[in-house]
Amino acid sequence: MKPCPFCGGPPVAIVTSCPDGAAPELCTYGEDGLAVEATVFCHKCGSQGPEVEDVIFDRADFQSIRERAIALWQARDMRYAPLCVASLCAAQPVSLVCP
């Protein structure tokens, strides 16, 4: 993954499900699946990439949603940095807070 566009820190990909927080990587999530959000955030400054929401049913889905979040992070551009920083100041990273 590319380093953080703001501080050069190491990005971390996370998959979370409400209300439990971090979603485990499992072979199966049952017939109903598990509603999760995936995002990438900077371990150093806390800036966050776009979120991906989906319902996952198995390990392949888990890896797929994480890869989509990573792809969105990679697609970010420094042109949007001022906007992103401003929105971060206004709110805590949403990925760690359940609605």
The 3-state DSSP composition of the chain as helix, strand, coil percent (nearest 5) reads 30, 25, 40
Least separation in angstroms between residue 84's CB and Zn ion is 10
CB 86, min distance to Zn ion, A: 15
Please report whether residue 88 would count as binding Zn ion according to CB under 5 A. no
- Contact between residue 61 and residue 31 where contact means Cβ atoms under 8 Å apart: no
Under the criterion CB under 5 A, does residue 42 sit at the interface with Zn ion? yes
In the complex, minimum distance from the CB of residue 24 to Zn ion, in angstroms, rounded to a whole number:
26
Contact between 96 and Zn ion (CB under 5 A)?
no
DSSP conformation class of 32: T
CB atoms within 10 A of CB 13: 16
Which listed range, 7-15, 20-28, 29-37, 89-97, lies at the site for Zn ion (CB under 5 A)?
A: 7-15
Cα 51 to chain centroid, rounded: 5
Which residues lie near Zn ion (CB under 5 A)? Answer: 4, 6-7, 9, 42, 44-45, 47
